[in-house]
Structure 1
Amino acid sequence: MYVTGTITSMHASAENVAKALSPDNGGFMTVDAVGGYVVAKIEGKSLRSVIATVDDYLVNLSVSERLS
């Protein structure tokens, strides 16, 4: 099985948020600023790994929103 997904969120400083959320180990996820949005594309070979990646990303996104 191959699982993919996209999370799009709107931010006043989307470029800064995208830089803060960009993964150090590309492979499962890419994060880009597109206009006023942050677009995270996630992919993986197992549902469990994708869920773990999404969970980590959402926690970091929440922290980023509180700090900006």
Structure 2
Amino acid sequence: MRRADVATTHDDASTVAAALRPDNTPSMTTRVADDVVRTVVERETAGGLGSTLDDYVVNLTVAETVARTAREHRHNHE
């Protein structure tokens, strides 16, 4: 079994994690602690792990953009 533990820091970690979870596969778990999103990925092969991590990074980028846009929208309407 191959395993990766990815931890990233975000201004709105809960929103980022919520945006990521629907795209998680059964081999992935995502948790939030303070401003850190931690996702653990386990796959049978290194190639499978690499592919899953590639997808995860794309999803993480989108999730961070969505969270930032929502934060800016809230700020502009306060």
TM-score (norm 2): 0.77
Question: Any gaps of 5 or more consecutive residues in structure 2?
Answer: 69-78
Q: Which runs of 5+ in 1 are unaligned?
A: none
2: CA distance between counterparts of 1:64 and 1:24? Answer: 11
1:34-63 Cα deviation digits (max 9, x unpaired): 111000100011111111110000001111
Q: Match for residue 40 of structure 2? A: 41
Aligned to 1:22: 21
RMSD value, Cα? 1.4
Indicate yes or no: 2:12 matched with 1:13: yes
Q: How many residues align?
A: 67
What residue in structure 2 maps to residue 4 of structure 1? 3
AA at the equivalent of 2:45: S
Q: Which has the larger radius of gyration?
A: 2
The answer on whether the counterparts of 1:23 and 1:30 sit within 8 Å (CA) in structure 2 is no
1:26 Cα deviation after fit: 4.0
Deviations 1:7-31 (A, max 9, x none): 0000111011001001455421111
CA distance in 2, matches of 1:4, 1:24: 18
Percent identity over the alignment is: 33
The corresponding residue for 2:64 is 65
Which of the pair is proportionally richer in strand?
Answer: 1
Larger proportion of helix: 2
TM-score, normalisation: structure 1? 0.87
